[in-house]
Amino acid sequence: MTNALSRILETRDWLLADGATGTNLFNMGLQSGDAPELWNEQHPDRIKKLYQMAVDAGSDLFLTNSFGGNASRLKLHDAGDRARELSRMSAEIGREVADASDRDIIVAGSVGPTGEIFAPMGPLTHELAVEMFHEQAEGLKEGGADVAWLETISAPEEYIAAAEAFALADIPWCGTMSFDTAGRTMMGVTSAQMTEMVEKLPNPPLAFGANCGVGAADLMRTVLGFAAQGSERPLIAKGNAGIPKYVDGHIHYDGTPELMAEYAVLARDAGATIIGGCCGTMPEHLSAMRAALETRERGPRPSLEQVAEALGGFSSASDGTGEDADAPKRERRGRRRS
């Protein structure tokens, strides 16, 4: 399938993705409990600013403000029937920003989890999940998104349903899972198991990888786990800017621009092609990451010891995929917040 992302991947060794959505929107006035997706209609100028900040900081790809834009999550805000419309708006604003740039910029339509548990433990069926993801994908496609971007997924069933939905919408896609429980997703998936799942999909992603999770070191261990499987698909690394802490009643991520620059280079050397940040990653982090990727020579694949030395130890002794039980471990200082 020829598309904007695959074309740019043919000419580049790495792409810089964007940073945080929620952190930046909270700084613009979003209140806890509000639906960010409603801002696509209520405050399109702020969403445009969000995208523009990423482009100005050097991002080659940014995600749309549509992470919780499926019917299941929007119904909590009495907007369950607006999934397609709000997703379309998010992509339209993104298309405007990308087309105004003097560089090739990829608009990636963010698609997050439904928030529901699959049957028989919960109410979500495969058919319903496909329907919700398909609705959102059609909206993103109508708005001009270059690709759908599945992120922060824990359940393999949800990843598989999204892949089917994107095929129905005839839109290329990328997909990441969040490894935040001793190197596994909340549902127990390891990096090796995700790689195996991706390769078996009838409609596989253009690129796959990990986002969010605990901190940059843990995410790097997951990326190394992907690389060890030998997949030829481009890998995605989108790690949090350090570890969250409560400071004066607010959540603050302790990762400095310098730390995120080290992370970006290590991710590239580990085999990642699309490199960005997640929670806590601000424009100043992205600028430092871009500068490091442009000026520092590619090095050999880093070891777990080198990752721990540069980024801090890991939150668990093992990620369940290799002989890393003796890997450096740090004290868990906080829990992930989206």
For 83-123, what is each residue's pLDDT tens digit? 999 999 999 999 999 999 999 999 999 999 999 999 999 99
pLDDT tier, 258 (very low <50, low <70, confident <90, very high otherwise): very high
Q: Is the pLDDT of residue 34 over 70?
A: yes
Token couple for 262: 């080290």
Q: Alpha-carbon distance 209 to 149, whole Å?
A: 11
What would the mean pLDDT of 191-209 be, rounded to a whole number?
Answer: 98
- Three-class DSSP category at 322: coil
Q: Alpha-carbon distance 216 to 279, whole Å?
A: 11
Q: Alpha-carbon distance 189 to 277, whole Å?
A: 22
Q: What is the pLDDT of residue 323?
A: 57
What would the mean pLDDT of 4-32 be, rounded to a whole number?
Answer: 96
What would the mean pLDDT of 6-34 be, rounded to a whole number?
Answer: 96
Chain centre to alpha carbon of residue 74: 20
Cα–Cα distances in angstroms (integers) from residue 9 to residues 3, 12, 14, 101, in the given order: 10, 5, 8, 18
Closest by CA to 338, choosing from 100, 20, 46, is 20
For 230-252, what is each residue's pLDDT tens digit? 999 999 999 999 887 877 767 77
Q: Which amino acid is residue 258, in one-letter code?
A: E
Q: What is the pLDDT of residue 15?
A: 98
Q: Which amino acid is residue 212, in one-letter code?
A: C
What would the mean pLDDT of 187-214 be, rounded to a whole number?
Answer: 97
- Identify the helix (H) or strand (E) that includes residue 277: strand 272-277
For 288-336, what is each residue's pLDDT tens digit? 999 999 999 999 999 999 999 999 999 999 998 875 544 444 433 333 3
Residue 157: DSSP 8-state: H
What would the mean pLDDT of 28-44 be, rounded to a whole number?
Answer: 97
Q: Which amino acid is residue 327, in one-letter code?
A: A
What would the mean pLDDT of 138-163 be, rounded to a whole number?
Answer: 98
Q: Where are the alpha helices (DSSP H) in the chain?
A: 4-9, 22-27, 39-42, 44-56, 71-74, 83-100, 126-143, 156-169, 191-200, 216-228, 257-270, 283-295, 304-311
Q: Is the pLDDT of residue 31 over 50?
A: yes
| pTM for this prediction | 0.94
Strands 15-16 and 173-177, how do they pair?
unpaired
Closest by CA to 149, choosing from 110, 206, 93, 201, is 110
Q: What is the pLDDT of residue 301?
A: 98
β-sheet bridge partners, residue 252: 245
Q: Is the backbone of residue 308 left (phi > 0), alpha (psi -120 to 50) or beta?
A: alpha
Q: What is the pLDDT of residue 247?
A: 77
